[in-house]
Amino acid sequence: MRKIIEKYVDLSNLYLNELPGFLSDVEIKRKTVKNNYENDFCSFNCSNNNLTSLVNAPKYVHGDFDCSNNFLTSLVGAPEIIYGDFDCTKNPITSLDGLPKRLIDGRLRIDGELEEMFSDHYVRSRCWMSKYIIWT
């Protein structure tokens, strides 16, 4: 049974070499709110660490997923579905293996120099997204 976290998860700037194992069975999900005054922002941030892999990342994130500024060469282990933006900039990516299957209501942020390696068409053939790619 999948565990649910209904909060913003911030693991940035912790010098992590890997993501904690318990996260692989977690879904980051927005609270069901009765009014518009409650904060329902539930994203996952593991940026600015020493990660070489996204193994153990949550499989579903109902918000943004930020894994920028690490040492990722592929996206293996990334969430399958993200209901927000996926930021994988500032990583030495050489493969799009593990790219999320779906970005619902979100954009893919990726380093501009990768546009020569991976065309817009190629990226979209691997990941359905409702918005667009931001080549930074």
Q: Which two tokens stand for residue 100?
A: 């999320």
How far is CA 113 from its chain centroid? 20
Domain containing 96: what range?
Answer: 1-136
pTM over 0.85? The answer is yes
Length of the chain: 136
- Which residue intervals of the chain are DSSP H helices? 120-126
Tell me if residue 14 falls in helix, strand or coil.
coil
Q: What is the pLDDT along the chain (136 residues), one digit of tens a residue?
A: 678 988 899 999 999 999 999 999 999 987 665 555 445 568 999 999 999 999 999 999 999 999 999 999 999 999 999 999 999 999 999 999 999 999 999 999 999 999 999 999 999 999 999 899 999 9
Q: State how many domains the chain has.
A: 1
